[in-house]
Amino acid sequence: MRGYFSPLVKDDYKKGYEVGRAADSPFEFTVTITADDIDQMVRDSSHMSRLEGTVVAPALSATPLTVREGWFSLFARDPDRALTRKMNYGMPMTTSDGKAFYMEGFKTIHDDLGPDLWSDTTTLYITLHEGRDANGPVLGKGIVKIEVADFKKQLASMEAVNAKSPAEALRAVAKLGEFFTGVLSEIYGGIFAQSSIFNPSAPPRPQRKPRLGEPDVHFVNTRDGVRLRLTRYEGGRKGPVMLSPGFGTSSLAWTIDTTEQNLPEFLYERGYDVWTFDYRASPALPSASTQFSLDDIALYDYPAAVDTVRSVSGADDVQMVAHCVGSLTLLMSMTAGLEGIRSVVSSQLTLHPVGPTLNEIKAGLYLASFLSTLGVDTLNTDFDTESDWQDRVYDTLLRLYPTQQRCNSPVCRRILFMYGEVYKHEQLNDATHDALHEMFGISNMTTFKQISLMLRKGHAVSAEGEEVYLPNIHRLRLPMAFIHGAENRLFLPRGSQETFKLLSEKNGPDYYVRHVIPDYAHMDCFIGKNANRDVYPLVVAELDKHSWPQGPSASRAP
């Protein structure tokens, strides 16, 4: 591989390459990679092969440097980015007079828009260090690439050693080639990529220990006979805050352990009495597979849950963080007369749902009603590779669904079809992407029909299309913060802007604020790998404006 680096640039690969090229500071290496166990290399993405060879870098040495005891990993999964693999290199280098340097490098294998397979697999980003390992001071950065002619030589030089027969040697090389092309097909294959395997019978994944107190679970019965669930984590005396998730997800969407810190942990650490809410749409409850409307959630679920939190905690009122349909139905409930709410953080979906073109088309075509006439009462994000042929055909058809968020996960494709672009893959780490099936589940068609009706009307209405919510927005005269992902293509930011504007005009602007969060979309505002740095502080800042520093008995500003 050949390229350039610069000892003058220590923080930018591209700039290091350009400055190095201008100064004629090349970096070139020829190495041999040896995998002692092909089966393990294919099976374990973290497997390291040995790497040895020579380096030509005049800026480091007038004579070639020797590489010994280096390492290489092929297609290691990137824990910080979903749908991404990396080729990682570590090269200890020694000059003829014994001076030591170290090169660490990586190739990022990720399907961005446009043709990038060749550039991804042939472009290595390098960092040079003084000393024998990556802990030494950074000496410079740059980029090296493999040219077509060199790539052909590389392929021709591949051989199996220590094979018992020519046939065994051929099988080993073929296995490596199959693995290589299989991963590239998985990443770059688009609609032709093989689906990732989801095995619902697999043993539970290892989980980190939650940084919350012992959960205190409360089951709540609504006036119409539905059993709901509240889970309390009493972290301090700032007062109770209820977290209400989006439609088709359970409260696990709040407490998922795949990120550095989830929102309940963030709030608990800062002294809040945290309550996660599973309303009747939660896949964790039997009610999720029944038919109900958004009106039912608004009129029955929220009053029962808020009364329970107030009764158990002893608080006069509660603060709310509500996401998507959880937010919409909360606002509907409040306009219908829900009491006991002190302040609200409303995420992504408000009283004015505005969808992107594709969702508007689905709403205009009455897709939910059409599916109901075909006998489809529920949709499910679960997928089983051993399921019947209809499931596999369904998955095949979903590959053709138009989206910017391409993915080879059948669960992800179902989420996309049922709801839309719920998250930006770029904001998810690998573990969260793999755990999406834990958060999502079954959804009923009655609610989809009502959401479609609202999209066509442009604002919240009852399941029968009655104007029962907007005429009562005077009941929303209390502190509210609206947050919206700037790149939300499920429900556009224009929707929360319309609600914010209407409330400010009717009730006065002092009660309301609105934040648009750059680079985020929808659900990734809460399950994103960096949400604890980019979003949670904003949520807590809004809650802190109206919290109880000394607990429920403290006096409060009006």
Tens of pLDDT, residues 311-335: 999 999 999 999 999 999 999 999 9
- Based on the fold, state whether residues 443 and 338 are members of the same structural domain: yes
Residue 429: inside a domain = yes
Q: What are phi and psi of 98, to 5 degrees?
A: 95, 5
How many whole angstroms separate alpha carbon 453 and alpha carbon 355?
A: 12
Strands 138-145 and 227-234: unpaired
**Residue 553 confidence (pLDDT):** 42
508: left (phi over 0), alpha (psi -120 to 50) or beta: left
- Based on the fold, state whether residues 122 and 256 are members of the same structural domain: no
Residue 370: inside a domain = no
Helix H or strand E encompassing 71? strand 65-77
| CB neighbourhood size of 43 (10 A) | 10
**Residue 55 confidence (pLDDT):** 96
Residue 100: inside a domain = yes
- Based on the fold, state whether residues 243 and 348 are members of the same structural domain: yes
Which amino acid makes up residue 354?
V
What CATH number should be reported for the domain holding residue 278? 3.40.50.1820
How many whole angstroms separate alpha carbon 10 and alpha carbon 33?
A: 28
How many angstroms separate the Cα of 245 from the Cα of each of 315, 368, 494, 532? 22, 22, 21, 17
Quick one: three-class SS letters along 337-368?
CCCCEEEEEEECCCCCCCCCHHHHHHHHCCHH
- Based on the fold, state whether residues 148 and 250 are members of the same structural domain: no
**Residue 368 confidence (pLDDT):** 47
Residue 392: inside a domain = no
Residue 95: inside a domain = yes
- Based on the fold, state whether residues 341 and 467 are members of the same structural domain: yes
What is the per-residue burial (b if ≥16 Cβ within 10 Å, else e) of 480-516? bbbbbbebbbbbbbebbbbbbebbeeebeeeebbbbe
Q: What sign for the dihedral angle of Cα 181, 187, 192, 193?
A: positive
**Residue finishing a domain among 188, 208, 240:** 188
- Based on the fold, state whether residues 132 and 280 are members of the same structural domain: no
Cβ partners under 8 Å of residue 299, min gap 6: 333, 336
**Residue 196 confidence (pLDDT):** 47
- Based on the fold, state whether residues 179 and 229 are members of the same structural domain: no
How many angstroms separate the Cα of 490 from the Cα of each of 23, 267, 316? 49, 27, 35
* 3-state helix, strand and coil shares in percent for the chain, rounded to the nearest 5: 35, 25, 40
- Based on the fold, state whether residues 167 and 236 are members of the same structural domain: no
- Based on the fold, state whether residues 139 and 266 are members of the same structural domain: no
**Residue finishing a domain among 188, 205, 231:** 188
Residue 302: inside a domain = yes
How many whole angstroms separate alpha carbon 526 and alpha carbon 535?
A: 7
Q: Mean pLDDT by 10-residue block, N- to C-terminus, for the chain (558 residues)?
A: 95 96 95 82 77 94 94 85 86 95 92 72 94 94 87 66 73 68 56 46 72 92 97 94 93 93 96 96 91 96 98 96 97 97 97 79 50 50 51 50 61 71 88 86 82 92 97 97 95 96 96 97 95 97 85 40
CA 7 to chain centre: 37
Rg, C-alpha atoms of the chain: 28
How many whole angstroms separate alpha carbon 227 and alpha carbon 220?
A: 6
Which of 218, 172, 141 minimizes the C-alpha distance to 37?
172
- Based on the fold, state whether residues 226 and 169 are members of the same structural domain: no
Residue 385: inside a domain = no
CA 268 to chain centre: 22
- Based on the fold, state whether residues 84 and 162 are members of the same structural domain: yes
Domain count, the chain: 2
Burial label for 113, CB within 10 Å (0-12, 13-18, 19+), is: exposed
**Residue finishing a domain among 173, 188, 203:** 188
Q: What sign for the dihedral angle of Cα 256, 259, 263, 265?
A: positive
Q: What are phi and psi of 292, to 5 degrees?
A: -160, 165
- Based on the fold, state whether residues 184 and 228 are members of the same structural domain: no
**Residue 195 confidence (pLDDT):** 44
Domain span at 511: 216-357+421-544
Residue 465: inside a domain = yes
| CB neighbourhood size of 196 (10 A) | 17
**Residue 360 confidence (pLDDT):** 54
